Amino acid sequence: MRDASPQTIYLKDYTPPSFEIEKVSLTFQLFEDGAQVSSRMLISRASSSDESSLRLDGEELELKSLKIDGRELDVHQYTVEPESLTIQAVPDKFELECVTWIKPHENKRLEGLYKSSSMFCTQCEAEGFRRITYYLDRPDVMSVFDTRIEADSAKYPVLLSNGNEVDSGKLEGGRHFVTWHDPHPKPCYLFALVAGDLYCQSDVFERASGRPVALEIFVDHKNADKCDYALDALKRSMKWDEEKYGREYDLDVFMIVAVDDFNMGAMENKGLNIFNSSCVLAKSDATTDNAYLRIEAIVAHEYFHNWSGNRVTCRDWFQLSLKEGFTVYRDSQFSADMNSAGVKRIEDVNLLRTAQFAEDAGPMSHPIRPASYMEISNFYTLTVYEKGAEVVRMLNTLLGDEAFRKGSDLYFERHDGQAVTTEDFVAAMSEVSGRDLVQFKRWYDQGGTPVVKVKSNYDEDKKQYVLTFEQSCPATPGQLKKEPFHIPIEIGLMLADGTQLPLAQADGGGSWVYELRDSMASVVFNDVPSKPIPSLLRGFSAPVRLHYDYSDQELMFLLANDSDSFNRWDAGQNLALRVLQSLVSRYQAGEALTLDPAFVDTYRSLLNDKSLDRAMLGKLLMLPSEAYLVELSETADTEAIYHARQFVRRTLANSLRVELLELYQSTHTSAFSLDLSFDAMSLRALHNFILSLLAAAPNDEFYTLASEQFDTASNMTDSFAALAALVNAENPAAAKDALSRFYARWKDDAQVMEQWFAVQSSSSSFADLSHVKALMGHADFEMTNPNKVRSVIGAFCAQNILGFHDVSGSGYEFLADQIIALDDMNPQIASRLLTPLTRWRKYDAARQSLMQTQLARILAKSNLSKDVQEVLEKSMPTNQ
Ligand code: B3K
Ligand code: ZN
């Protein structure tokens, strides 16, 4: 039973460890009814410490034996508590031997050592190792690990751990063992073990220094044909990190294992990355382009952690963004280099503005370096990851590429083998560049999304143009007042003829990075021949909400002429937002909806613009999402948002049918292509975007096209897009038929089935709760599998805005039921799933009260996990 309120841990209370573990040898004896874990640790008291007793972390462990320097301790010498083992009066230096018994087959939390299908695997970050054995489970305790695994030879022919394999052999009773040695000292969160009957696909990568490294991907035998793409992405990542950051791999072998039951995407364990199957397995006819791009990014992300995270790790979990923000930034640069920088930026900003800004404005809002937490698993957030990456990106912008690279070299070299803080990272950047980054560091400790208001004034007589900036930041939990941020704002000034003013500040170029530091500041531009149109925050140079009072004409001008592709796209988004927001108001007022013909014309000219890059066109045509409209609303009216947006889609489809069909036909060959080049993917994205738009106003021709694409497509992108279009056309018979045919074809492919579930649970065609409940009753649904939970329950609650926000409150009650059921099984997943209910402030009074009722109902559950309890407590109206 937990305390009434879990304990809060504060960054300000950090103290270095009192003991060090120089070396640890682990022996795992794996059986069907449990596992015996024996550890031998070389422990010494830190020179700065006079602590007499040693407190080790441990949860749900059965202690079998405990020895110091070979002598068994008697029960008076130590105390076992639910979350710790304390040994009194230990010597300065000693060998501790500890034997524990654990039950991986009963572990449904998927933290520590657990079984996924028939294999054993681990997940230790952040605090899972303490569920394996007693240890100093904190990232600043780094040790050299030796691991011996013993198991049945027939059931578990493959036995893996970190580092290099050093020994193996047969044991009695049909068992065998393998021993691994990892020469790099590491915190225990990077420990990993895998045992199973697995297929291995191998390859070799030649390092820049010439030394070869073996690459091995281990998967279930049935997935033997789904390894090629990840292997290719891995080789490209290794080469890119050598070239871009000068980082080479450091062991003889790099292994990736795919597991079906996994709480998140993947884990960067030293030399032995463990992946959620859906983030690594791919094959041509079964994987969509989006999944390929995600796999490429995640393989790269985990690999890049080998330096940003493993060789240089975090001192404590408050520093999580040190490794995550930096690594997300690195993987986004990689994806930009592999595909298209412009498109990648648009996608990243879209995610940030839709979901991270919402997090910043919600009850769990925290800075990228939180000051406190109750359960660290709740802080693997978009803020720490995505906003963290934006902060690193701003450093790159402020320093320039050359100094940024010097800074990262200094950081890696100076702190190799250490557990450090975000201060150390910024210090390296400051040192190589000579830049004063003291004010910049506020980005790490102040939460919330800053708002920048910009005004302009042009003096015709003086030929002078003035931009005035004003910054502020809303209060967030625990932080009422914020100091001004150091904000890089990239600016260009466009003239009416479509040219750019060469800015004196910009070394002759058209774009200049203005550094806003004060609450209010102005910039004066001289010799400005005519009134310019400012292009502000180019490339989204800082994670802020920027307001400037553009006229519609100015936005249209920027959409047509801005040399910055991001701002071009953003101008189009702003125009579309205006149209959508005014339709939302009309819908609420019960007025008839009409679409401004100027908007249809803008859309038409985009469709007809042959000079536009196809990938960019796909992005420019995209309407702001429902989620973004919710985020921007003071009080979000989900029905009005849904209907206004559908109205725009339907009207565009009807008014521009000829142009849309023409573009659809001209991109149709994509349906038969297995080409994974970015150009081919962009063509498919465009093709399928059109199909999805036509589904908003389906006529016979639409059904003919969609069915034809569904029947004949040879790649999953086109085939799945046809399925989605048929499902979303709100024609139950067509949807049902396509879904059952798709199921018959793909039922044995777990990754495809996740998508089959999600396309239904997120669709407004199935807003009725009974459909989602039926999906949960489907033979392929499992409550213990996080991917299935996410694709059915998660997709319904986060994406099906009509269904989840039904005025009866049935969606809220449904989610509460699922959280109550999941909390005992898998607290991390339960806590994540809770997010939509915590955002009650966004909705009308009736819905607020219905949501609060459900939060209170969950809070009343006994034995609530720390994870769910923290989120609930912070979200309750009484706590805000
Ligand atoms: N570092 C892991 C995340 C672990 C989450 C633990 N709750 C994956 C990643 O960011 O690469
Ligand atoms: Zn990461």
**Minimal-distance CA residue to ligand 1 atom 9:** 267
**Minimal-distance CA residue to ligand 1 atom 3:** 267
CA within 13 Å, CB half, 834: 35
**Minimal-distance CA residue to ligand 1 atom 1:** 267
pLDDT at 1: 41
Q: Which stretches of the chain score pLDDT less than 50?
A: 1-3
* CB distance 689 to 645 below 8 Å: no
- Angstrom distance (rounded) from CA 189 to CA 313: 10
For residue 832, count CB atoms less than 10 angstroms from its CB and return exposed for 0-12, middle for 13-18, buried for 19 or more. Answer: buried
* 20, β-bridge pairs: 44
Cβ atoms within 10 A of the Cβ of 294, count? 18
- Based on the residue annotation, tell me whether 302 is a catalytic residue of this protein: yes
723: helix, coil or strand?
Answer: helix
Ligand nearest to the backbone CA of 831: 1
Torsion angle in degrees (nearest 10) through CA of 103, 104, 106, 107: 120
Closest residue by Cα to residue 476 from 368, 577, 564, 318: 368
* CB distance 874 to 866 below 8 Å: no
Alpha helices, H only, 364-445? 382, 388-399, 401-415, 422-433, 442-445
pLDDT at 670: 74
Closest residue by Cα to residue 492 from 414, 571, 425: 571
Task: Classify each residue of 667-703 as buried b or exposed e, where b means 16 or more C-beta atoms within 10 Å of its C-beta.
Answer: beebbebeebebebbbbbbbbbbbbbbbbbbbeeebb
Which residue type is seen at 373? Answer: Y
Closest residue by Cα to residue 764 from 639, 848, 594: 639
pTM over 0.95: yes
Q: Which two tokens stand for residue 592?
A: 């008839």
CA of 767 to the centre of ligand 1 (A): 33
pLDDT at 768: 94
- Angstrom distance (rounded) from CA 687 to CA 662: 10
Q: What Cα–Cα distance (Å) separates residue 764 from each residue in 651, 690, 714? A: 18, 19, 27
- Angstrom distance (rounded) from CA 495 to CA 616: 23
Q: Which pairing describes strands 19-31 and 34-45: parallel, antiparallel, or unpaired? A: antiparallel
CA of 274 to the centre of ligand 2 (A): 12
Ligand nearest to the backbone CA of 274: 1
Phi then psi for 860, rounded to 5 degrees?
-80, -10
Give the atom of ligand 1 at the shortest distance from the alpha carbon of 376: 7
CA of 628 to the centre of ligand 2 (A): 25
- Residue 6 CA, chain-centre distance (Å), reads 26
CA within 13 Å, CB half, 63: 25
**Minimal-distance CA residue to ligand 1 atom 2:** 267
Give the atom of ligand 1 at the shortest distance from the alpha carbon of 305: 11
Task: Classify each residue of 635-652 as buried b or exposed e, where b means 16 or more C-beta atoms within 10 Å of its C-beta.
Answer: ebbbbbbbbbbbbbbbbb
What is the CB < 6 Å shell around ligand 1? Answer: 125-126, 264, 266-268, 301-302, 305, 324, 377, 380
Closest residue by Cα to residue 628 from 353, 344, 360, 345: 353
Give the atom of ligand 1 at the shortest distance from the alpha carbon of 302: 11
Cβ atoms within 10 A of the Cβ of 396, count? 18
Q: Per the residue annotation, which of 302, 390, 754, 870 is the catalytic one?
A: 302
The residue assigned the tokens 């989900």 is: 638
Alpha helices, H only, 609-677? 614-621, 626-632, 638-655, 657-666
CA of 482 to the centre of ligand 2 (A): 29
* CB distance 351 to 50 below 8 Å: no
Give the atom of ligand 1 at the shortest distance from the alpha carbon of 125: 6
CA of 110 to the centre of ligand 2 (A): 18
pLDDT at 665: 95
Torsion angle in degrees (nearest 10) through CA of 792, 795, 798, 804: -50
The beta-strand segments (E) located in 53-92 are 54-57, 62-68, 71-72, 78-81, 84-87
Residues 6+ positions from 678 with CB-CB distance below 8 Å: 338, 339, 340, 615
* 202, β-bridge pairs: 216
* CB distance 805 to 811 below 8 Å: yes
**Minimal-distance CA residue to ligand 1 atom 4:** 125
**Minimal-distance CA residue to ligand 1 atom 10:** 324
Alpha helices, H only, 498-656? 552-561, 565-588, 597-608, 614-621, 626-632, 638-655
pLDDT at 4: 67
177: helix, coil or strand?
Answer: strand
* CB distance 316 to 139 below 8 Å: yes
Give the atom of ligand 1 at the shortest distance from the alpha carbon of 301: 11
The residue assigned the tokens 């975007």 is: 689
**Each residue's pLDDT tens digit, 88-131:** 999 999 999 999 999 999 999 999 999 999 999 999 999 999 99
605: helix, coil or strand?
Answer: helix
Mutate to test the pocket of ligand 1, among 313, 324, 865 (most ligand atoms within 8 A of CB): 324
360: helix, coil or strand?
Answer: helix
**Does a cis peptide bond (omega within 30 degrees of 0) precede residue 258?**
no
CA of 288 to the centre of ligand 1 (A): 24
